[in-house]
Structure 1
Amino acid sequence: MKNNREDVRRNPVPSLLRSLMTDHLDPGYEAAAAEREHDHSRNRTQRGGPWLMLGAVLVGFVLTVSAVQAAKAVSGNQEIQADLLAKVRDVRESIDELDASRATLGGEVDVARASALAGDTHGGAVLDQLRVVEAAAGLEAVHGEGIVVTLTDPAARPDLSDASKRTVGGKTVVLDRDLQIVINALWAGGAEAVTVGGVRIGPAVTVRQAGGAMLVDNQPVFSPYRLEAIGDSRVLQRTFVVSDAYSRMSGVAQLYGVGFAVAEDRSISMPPATPRAVRVASEAAVPK
């Protein structure tokens, strides 16, 4: 009987099985890859130089063509910009000429109307009524004493958490509602005529912001915004100082650095407001 503790000889792993477990690449493929790598490294220096030179030439050609095209595009944009600026100047000159012609014709109409109505009692009464209505509509140039309110955009944006509520394009500015509140306070204080940046405030005149521009009656005005009011200067200043508009703008000036100043002026001249086309009219009721 054989001893159970005798070492038992194990069967060795066949060589083919060992090869399948350890060598994952067929010897033929491995030899072909080694030969191809050897041939590639041997000819890399010989064949790489011309291709690199050709690539550099192509890259330089592409960059040169791009630079020439960019220069032409910049030149073309400058020409287009200059042409647009010239057209804008021409349109402005044409507008100025039309405004001057309208003012001249308006004066001639006023003279003809006065000569036609002044010689008659009824015509004189109608003429007086027209003058009252035109004065209320701001269609006559006026001159007199009053006060001037100046609002100025701050030089730099303050570091406040709510500063974004008062910014346009990332810059802290005077808002259109600021001008509107001040204008209403001046009217309520007894102003007879008001201008903003030289633009007369009349019926249907709007003050609004469009992007970074302030438009008064669709005309751009710029900081500092000068609001002029004709009337009794002492009364205007006294009533404005105690108004909500004054308190609001004082707070805005302290919080955001907006310039805010009020001063009397003994000599203020204002142009007439732009007349509006009359589309609908009705006869006034005769009081009983």
Structure 2
Amino acid sequence: MIAQREDGTGPPGERRPDASMSLLADLFSGKLLDHGYAEAAARRAAAGESGPAGGRLRGGGVLLVLVLAGTLIAVAGAEVRRGEPVAAQERSRLVGEINARTAETDGLQRRLDRLRAETERRRAAALARSEDGRRARRHLAAAAAAAAAEPATGEALIVTLDDAPGDGPEGRPADTGGRVYDQDLQVLVNGLWAAGAAAIGVNGQRLTAATAIRAAGEAILVDYRPLGRPYEVTALGDPGRLRDAFSGSAADRRLRALTERFKIRYDTRRAAGARLPAAGAVRLRHAREAGR
């Protein structure tokens, strides 16, 4: 007698009597189900989906989000278009206010100049009555010239700086490298002082040792007053000596490099009779007793 294996099957070539019943047994036990179908059904059950209905819900949610996004974009565009005229009006109002304040400041400056001239006339008349007074007046005149408290006239070397020609707003270059900045004017002014200038002014604004040349946005300020292009720097003194001393200096080399690289305008000319006004605001910083 041939023994069977432990799993109940016989040796090869021998057929079990209940072999025809094994297919029905597997079917009723569920062994014939595909494991992939079973896992997919389990995932749907865990997510609470119900077949095609869940897909429709997801599609509806995406459509709702797109509609809301489109509505927000349309509202934002409408607000921007509605705000453009308001911004233009506000800018026009600010420009008008700036012009009005500038005109007011110019009027006050002219009044200050008249009062200063009247004060100087009265002081000169009082000091002329005695020898000590005349001596004090000479000292005051020398100190006033050094502090730019008095107008100055004479021969001058005039240096002009301007932005490179361009197609930007107001003819300015679109490339910022072609613009004149406050640092460029600072370098030029310091170079002219070093060359021996007796007095310096920029676009009619007299400079002192304490005058600031700064930038505010795209504007250049001298003594907190905005300047317009081109920038003319007037240096009082012998024009030939000033040009010889300034040529080849560090300031001259820098400006020539800007001209070659960015096409900034940089030229000089002589002036036989230039006049610079007194500085706008002179404060007393040091004092000592006369005769010492």
TM above 0.5, one fold?
yes
The 1:116/1:170 distance shift into structure 2, 3 A limit, reads same
User: In the alignment, which of 77, 95, 99 is matched to residue 85 of structure 1?
Assistant: 95
Give the Cα–Cα distance (whole angstroms) in 1 for the partners of residues 28 and 175 of structure 2.
79
Q: Residues 100, 249 of structure 1: CA spacing in aligned structure 2 closer, same or farther, 3 A cutoff?
A: same
Aligned twin of 1:153: 163
C-alpha displacement of 1:17: 0.6
In the TM superposition, what is the alpha-carbon distance from 1:205 to its structure 2 partner? 0.4
- Do the aligned partners of 2:136 and 2:290 also contact (CA within 8 Å) in 1? no
**Which letter maps to 2:110?**
A
How far is 1:232 from its partner? Answer: 1.2
Matched letter for residue 214 of structure 2: R
Please report how far the alpha carbon of residue 224 of structure 1 lies from its aligned counterpart in structure 2 after TM superposition.
2.8
TM-score (norm 2): 0.71
Tell me how far 1:229 sits from its aligned partner: 0.9
TM-superposed deviation, 1:64: 8.5
Q: Deviations over 1:69-104 (max 9, x none)?
A: 555534443443333233223212221221111111
Q: Does 1:188 align with 2:194?
A: yes
Larger radius of gyration: 2
Q: Distance in 2 between matches of 1:236 and 1:35?
A: 92
Question: What is the distance in 1 between the residues matched to 2:266 and 2:53?
Answer: 84
Alpha-carbon distance change, 36 to 192 in structure 1, aligned in 2, over 3 angstroms: closer
Q: Deviations over 1:219-254 (max 9, x none)?
A: 222443211111112211222224332233223322
CA distance in 2, matches of 1:78, 1:70: 12
Mapped partners of 2:182, 2:71: distance in 1: 55
Number of residue pairs aligned between Structure 1 and Structure 2: 255
Contact 1:143 1:268 in 2 (8 A): yes
* Aligned equivalents of 1:109, 1:285: Cα separation in 2: 20
Structure 1 window deviating more from structure 2 (136-145 vs 12-21): it is 12-21
**CA distance in structure 2 between the partners assigned to 1:182 and 1:64 by the alignment:** 53
Structure 1 residues 14 and 92, CA gap change in structure 2 (3 angstroms): same
Unmatched 5+ residue regions in structure 1?
41-47, 157-168
Distance 1:124 1:170, change over 3 A: same
Aligned residue for 2:262? 256
Distance in 1, matches of 2:105 and 2:117, equals 18
Q: Deviations over 1:177-205 (max 9, x none)?
A: 33223222222322221112221111310
Query: Which residue is 1:166 aligned to?
Result: none
8 A contact 1:237–1:264 mirrored in 2: no
SS at match of 1:14: helix
Consecutive unaligned residues in structure 2, runs of 5 or more: 3-9, 167-173
Which position in structure 2 is the counterpart of 1:6?
13
Q: CA RMSD in A?
A: 3.7
2:187 aligned partner, one-letter code:
I
CA contact (8 A) 1:150 1:224 kept: yes
Identity of aligned residues (%): 26
Asked if the contact 2:109–2:280 (Cα under 8 Å) also holds between the matched residues in 1, the reply is no
Aligned-pair CA distance for 1:68: 6.6
Q: Which residue of 2 aligns with 1:282?
A: 287
* Counterpart AA for 1:259: R
Q: Is 1:245 aligned to residue 244 of structure 2?
A: no
